[in-house]
Structure 1
Amino acid sequence: MEAVDRAFAAALYIEGDAALDTGASLLAAAPDADAELALRGREFVRRAWDRGWQPADVVRIVRRDLDEPQVRILAGLIRDELSRYERLPARWQGQVEELPRETWRSDRFSYATAVLELYRVLLALPAIEPAGPAPGASVLGPPVHGEPKTLARIRALLAKAEATGFPEEAEALTAKAQELMARHSVDDALLAERGAGGEVPGACRIGVDAPYETAKAILLDAVASANHCRAVWNAELGFSTVVGFEGDLEAVELLHTSLLVQGTAAMTAAEAAQRAGGRKRTKTFRQSFLLAYAGRLGDLLAETARGVEAEFGGELLPVLATRAVAVAGRAEAMFPRTVSTRVRGASDESGWRDGRAAADRAHRGRMHGLDR
């Protein structure tokens, strides 16, 4: 439709508020263009899938760069576009279910402005490494019917750890979840080796949001490494891609989210104690705390996982080695040109000390004698 073409020419390819206002004015004056405007939006969404993006990835970028009205408009476009498919890739269905359901409308000019701002972001999305098949692909994998009982139990343990107000209880619950994750990974590896699996490594993307994104990316890398996965951070786009076998990927998502919640709570409590003593260097304290928390947890998580694996003896070593080679190969195929990132060192001794202590508490609960 001519009104949409003129609005797009005025607003999408020229930067600045004046261009945006011109495009929004053209759309506001053409109410019969709404259907075509929505159709173009679904085309932008479909183009994002072709470039390797998934629903949660696009929502995360829009939420970072714009506001809630654009997120709600995007959610409607995603639902409309994906309704064309009889079946979605396994991870996509969960992402769609988490989309906001509230619609957003305003006066015609404000709505047109929000839509054009959204389309500017969608149009500028770069191509990224696909983390799995897109809708309509010939191979989507088998349908998913709920999650394994072990993962459901892990999820419940971590939810309790986040909710409790008693540090010792949180420690014990988190440590039990860590041990269950390691055993779940071993069970999957042995099952695959005996011919009942046949799976290959996959990938998922996990948001790494500001502030203190470097420390958060390090924490995710630590969790991934302890669970036989590889994490590659894209600082510019605000996410890490984690490569590994499906059961391990699910464990990494669960544990990283929980440890980040627990670490943030511990950091807030430690910071309050510092302020009570007259300290004011909040930013350096938080950065140092989270860096120490991530580094220390990496060592402790790996120690727990290796301890569980040692119980199975020598039969497990060649199995894990084979899976490690497969994960490394998939990661290198997806990211052939990764570079190392220089991490700015911690500069606050108190933050570093408190962060390591919080990591020890988050891990030490395995000594509390929970039944396996």
Structure 2
Amino acid sequence: MSDAEQLLADALAAARGTDVRQAERALDRLVVADGPAADAALLARLVRGLGRLWPRGWQPVDLDRIVTRRLTPRGARLLRDGLAAQRREQPGPVPPWFDDQLAELDARWDGDAEWLDRRAEGDRISALRDAVDALVLVEGLPPIAVLRPPPGGPAAAPRAAVSASGSRMLDRVRALLAKAESTTFPAEAEALTGKAQELMARHSIDAALLDATAERPDQPSGVRLGTDAPYAAAKALLIQEVAAANRCESVWSDDLGFATVLGFPADLAAVELLHTSLLVQATAAMLRGRAEHHAGNGRAGSGRAGSGRRTKAYDESFLNAFALRIGERLRTATAAADQEAAEEPGGQRLLPVLAARSDAVRERVDQLFPGVTRHRLQVRDAAGWSSGTSAADRASLDVGAPARRPIRRGH
């Protein structure tokens, strides 16, 4: 081990500990070391650490999501540099989705020379600290579910091409959801979202029937959706409700800040589109409801002690109620589409096909998450619950006792 590698190892060990002074002394020794050698040691270890993550289930977008939450902006940028450098050295086949994610993250490699100094902006000490923190994070990440064949393994199957009709349907759905997000009238937003769900449910049915006759039918796959603070549990509940309405299953990993959604490709696309739009709608409705609630209580803009706690309880209850009620509406739209398709000529084969796909998704969940537990959400604010339910379904204002719905949690 070279001197630079030993100094880096010492800095990493100290950074993982609890002695702040020792960590600073180890970092100081790394700062005064030979600069090019220290940079090379950092980069080589970062590339090795990243390469070990892919067989352990991580994908570039998953990594970027967690580093954005836990590191400084420069630390996150350094890790994106590392992603690009690791891709350059990745042995074996690299599936197209991997390069697509790197492009989405704008991960580019500009060369080894003065790599760290380019990001230092004149502050090499802080840049080294950020790089060490990034390495500590990368090397400490646990294995997670492998959703796609990783780089370097057996070549991934080519991506299924989106049919022209499927592409047009998704464009129509995006247009409907964009209108739902922009309107200030809850009833109009609900109608537009319901229509979008109907279109996606019908598209899912067509895809299922077509896939049932394919020589190599699709298998359940998965996506991960972020559940950042604040109100991470309520966001996970929204994902779960949207997933259930679209024949998918969701498992929340609260410590890692994401939910894993498992299902068939057309259904996963529906979940991603709807979840993104509904989160925007729910947040906007929550802010309007909060303002109206505080104004009605004479507390608008109040700095009264405890108002922050009351606001948090209101917001969480609002988002929980919104998720549960909108889930009911989405499932109703899906059931109507199923019933309509089943009554069409040849529709008698639909229900067995859908049942088989649901069984396949549940089996995949059991394979990937054998230790799933249930987490019950508690509703702490009746006004927030009532307002959230009304925002999801303006026609239903009579709210009884706050309900509780378990969320699947993975380990």
Q: Same fold (TM over 0.5)?
A: yes
| C-alpha distance in structure 2 between counterparts of 1:146 and 1:309, whole Å | 22
Where in structure 2 are there 5+ consecutive unaligned residues? 109-117, 300-306, 343-347, 397-411
1:77 to partner: Cα distance: 0.8
Please state if 1:190 is matched with 2:196: no
Number of the residue aligned with 2:176: 157
Partner letter of residue 178 of structure 1? Q
Q: Give the residue type in structure 2 aligned to 1:357.
A: S
- State the shift of 1:22 in Å: 2.7
Could you tell me which amino acid in structure 1 is paired with residue 17 of structure 2? E
SS in 1 for 2:158: coil
Q: 1:126 aligns with which of 134, 138, 142?
A: 142
What percent identity do the matched residue pairs reach? 42
CA distance in 2, matches of 1:19, 1:332: 45
Q: CA RMSD in A?
A: 2.4
Following superposition of structure 1 onto structure 2, how do residues 276-287 of structure 1 map, counting pairs within 5 Å? Answer: 276-277=295-296, 278-279=298-299, 280=307, 281-287=310-316
- Following superposition of structure 1 onto structure 2, how do residues 1-372 of structure 1 map, counting pairs within 5 Å? 1-12=2-13, 14-16=16-18, 17-29=20-32, 30-33=34-37, 34-84=39-89, 88-89=94-95, 91-99=97-105, 104-106=119-121, 107-143=123-159, 148-149=166-167, 150-195=169-214, 198-277=217-296, 278-279=298-299, 280=307, 281-313=310-342, 314-344=348-378, 346-360=379-393
In structure 2, distance between residues paired with 1:180 and 1:320: 17
Structure 1 position 98, deviation (Å): 2.8
Could you tell me how far 1:361 is from its partner in structure 2? 5.3
Q: Is the 8 A contact 2:74 2:119 kept in 1?
A: yes
Partners of 1:217 and 1:32 lie apart in 2 by 45
Q: For residues 90 and 182 of structure 1, do their structure 2 counterparts lie closer, same or farther at Cα, with a shift above 3 Å needed?
A: farther
Cα distance in 2 between the residues matched to 1:157 and 1:19: 57
Whole-Å separation in 2 of the counterparts to 1:254 and 1:212: 20
Task: Kindly name which structure, 1 or 2, has the bigger radius of gyration based on alpha carbons.
Answer: 2
Question: What is the alpha-carbon distance in structure 2 between the residues aligned to residue 164 and residue 323 of structure 1?
Answer: 36
Give the C-alpha shift of residue 170 in structure 1: 3.2
Aligned-pair CA distance for 1:164:
4.1
Query: Number of matched residues?
Result: 362
> Structure 2 counterpart of 1:39, which letter?
A
Residues 238 and 143 (structure 1 numbering): CA distance in 2 closer, same or farther, change over 3 Å?
Answer: same
Contact 2:93 2:153 (C-alpha < 8 Å) held by counterparts: no
Which whole-Å CA distance do the structure 2 matches of 1:72 and 1:362 have between them?
A: 47
- Compute the TM-score of the two structures, normalised by the length of structure 2: 0.82
Indicate how the Cα distance of structure 1 residues 72 and 146 shifts in structure 2: closer, same or farther if over 3 A, else same.
Answer: farther
Following TM superposition, the consecutive aligned residue runs of length 4 or more in structure 1 with deviations greater than 6 angstroms are: none
Would the aligned equivalents of 2:11 and 2:30 in 1 still touch at CA under 8 Å? Answer: no
Higher relative contact order, chain-length normalized (CA < 8 Å, sep 6+): 1
Report the alpha carbon displacement of residue 265 of structure 1 after superposing the two structures with TM. 0.6
SS in 1 for 2:375: coil
Between 1:193-202 and 1:161-170, the stretch displaced more is 161-170
